Amino acid sequence: MKKSKAAVILAVILVVLTGMTWYAGTIVSTVGVGASRNIKLGLDLAGGVSITYKAVDKNPSAEDMKDTVYKLQKRVEKYSTEASVYQEGSDRISIEIPGVSDANTILEEMGKPGSLEFQTSDGQTILSGSDIKDAQPKTYTDDKGQKQNVVALTLTDEGTKKFADATQANLGKSIPIVYDGETISSPTVQSVISDGNAQITGMESYEAADELASTIRIGSLSLELKELNSKVVGAQLGTSALSGSLMAAVIGLVLVILFMIVMYRISGFASGIALILYSALVVWALWIFDITLTLPGIAGIILSIGMAVDANVIIFARIQEEIAAGKTVKTAMKMGYDKALSAIVDGNITTLIAAVVLGLRGSGPVKGFAYTLGIGIVLSMFTALVVTRWLMKCFYTLGAKSEKLYGKKKERKTINFLGKRAVFFTLSIAVIAAGFIGMGVHNAKGDKILNYSLDFVGGTSTTVDFGKDYSISEIDKEIVPVLEELTGDKNIQTQKIKESNQIVIKTRSLNLKEREALNDTLADKFGVDKETITSENISSTISSEMKSDAIWAVAIATICMLIYIWFRFKDIRFAGSAVLALVHDVLVVLAFYAIARVSVGNTFIACMLTIVGYSVNATIVIFDRIRENLPALRDQNKENLMEVANRSITQTLSRSINTSLTTFVMVALLFVLGVSSVKEFALPLMVGIVCGTYSSVCITGALWYIFRVRFKKKK
């Protein structure tokens, strides 16, 4: 590369970096102000709309209420992945949608959840709304090259049988679709439909197809609902929560860049520039893809900044190894990238597999987490493999050719990690056992095995008119401490209702005596009129179906990762070891939750999923080095295999330590500067980072060695 070309490329990168960073900064700085280029914020940061529906049936069954809550949850996700739906009392359902200030618009778009029927021309019902699994608008090009708008219907198993019989008996006839007594469409049966997939054709526009599909989806609820009330609620957290997290991001980013420069010199400087670009790109991606950002989401992004360093650390360590082996800087740079590529690609693809499965199979906060995780993985690979590489080429061409500017990696004496495997296994088993014992002790005392928050077990919602417009910071300082002392609950959630003096207080479930005590305290300390206080039991915002979705998503993702590692390493013993190490890390962090009684809420799922991705990524790096070192063995006996495992772990030790350190620093800053909800996310993550590093260095290699020795491949 010529110097002139290098100078131009460097100038272009810096100009683009400056422009994108400036614009990303304006997006972040206007968060919550209402600018058109804002990122969509969650209920905790920006407030939103709260709508309460009541079942038309006087005594709806618990099963129908549960099914309706879940279906509504899936519906409102089109507005935001962070929208929540929960049962209130015995016959009411509340929906909270963040980032929206007009309840009427939501009500118009969602429609009134009423009764839906597919009927024959003589008025006989052949399908009810519960027979419809899904309805979506679609566009396709027909044989004549013209665009056609349709509504694609997916039926349940029972609905499929009913519809097959109905279409057989009504060929050439219309089947009116009746919603709340009004015919909204009268499609004609053109063929027998027996596979459970149908299309309503002849739609005049995509918008008309979308409207009809939305009405059908709403009408397929198990219960008919009527709107009881709607209100606009304020943010749950003050501006200090957001500013604290952003401050943690800035400080952490600066510290990580300085660390990289100290450790890797000119390479670290290049990665610092790329890291700033990465941060700007993440902000852009959130804005472009219209992803709802919550405070835990911000924490996840800050965590991803620490993890984004990983690919650069792997590459730079390789470059230093090649320089130490006598290669020129130019050759070392090329070989460093070439040798690091497989570890980077395999590690990130395994994590990306998890993100894709979670995005497709998960719901609610799991889906939102998956989007953020996927964006972080793709962008970190791009900045490390493309941007950093071009920057280093430019710096080299412009004169940065001295070995001193890149550093040499000193050859470490091989550490006998596997020789201490019995100690490591015993320690891990003891920690995991302590967690289960702790759960058993709490269960024996009559407590929950984990400290479940409102998100998991529900509680009591109390609406209070304080007669004064309290700010969020005043609520946190004056009201919340009194409520915590009275209820013994440290997980209290508060929400202001806009344009009123009312505050919604959500606590653990309170019995009648505790509710009366709460009312008396509010009257004595804040002058509240007890007659205006209303209380209702509320269900968890994380339904059993959402939990099931999350569990299935993790299970499917784990199986997919197992298959991918098996395929890439051509040895199921690598894959089995990686999955066992992953399970180990999850169980250790679960033990921490059980023993420390950290609140298990919405962030619990995100925390566990983050640890899964982090654990697999770290393990892949070590396995990649073992795979590279194995062919050099002439005799693959026990001693040689142990030597290869120990040497591979030792060679990648600096990567394990440096990546963990940068990630830990970012999360530790969140813990120090964040509010309580962020601290509850950051603390288990710090444990997970330490545990993930420990398992990668001390457990995974030993597991692989045991499997390799005991389960030999058949020739």
pTM for the structure as a whole: 0.74
Residue 170 carries which DSSP code?
T
Residue 695 carries which DSSP code?
I
Amino acid at 434: A
Distance CA 421, CA 709 (A): 15
Q: What does the block give as tokens for 211?
A: 């409207």
pLDDT category, 694, cuts 50, 70, 90? very high
Helix (H) / strand (E) element for 686: namely helix 676-694
Maximum average pLDDT range among 32-36, 317-321, 602-606: 317-321
Domains and CATH numbers, the chain: 3-27+237-405 (1.20.1640.10), 48-112+229-233 (3.30.70.3400), 116-220 (3.30.1360.200), 418-435+543-710 (1.20.1640.10), 459-538 (3.30.70.100)
Q: With 0-12 CB in 10 A as exposed, 13-18 as middle and 19+ as buried, what is 648?
A: buried
Residue range 182-197: average pLDDT?
88
Residue 647, pLDDT > 90, answer: yes
Q: Identify the CA nearest to 665 among candidates 335, 232, 397, 302.
A: 302
Query: Tell me, what's the pLDDT at 698?
Result: 93
In Å, how far from its chain's centre is CA 650?
33
Q: Up-side HSE of residue 236: CA atoms within 13 Å toward CB?
A: 22
pLDDT category, 425, cuts 50, 70, 90? very high
Which of 390-394, 423-427, 451-455 is least confident? 451-455
Q: Which residue has the higher pLDDT, 472 or 337?
A: 337
Residue range 266-280: average pLDDT?
89
Residue range 571-584: average pLDDT?
89
Q: Identify the CA nearest to 291 among candidates 454, 83, 115, 469.
A: 83
Angle between helices 701-710 and 421-444 (to 10 degrees): 110
Question: What order do you get walking across the sheet with 147-155 strand by strand?
Answer: 132-141, 147-155, 197-203
pLDDT category, 656, cuts 50, 70, 90? confident
CA distances from residue 498 to 50, 315, 501, 503, 685 in whole angstroms, order as listed: 11, 52, 8, 9, 35
Contacts (Cβ under 8 Å, ≥6 apart) of 547: none
Q: Identify the CA nearest to 78 among candidates 343, 286, 300, 367.
A: 367
Cβ–Cβ under 8 Å, residues 575 and 566: yes
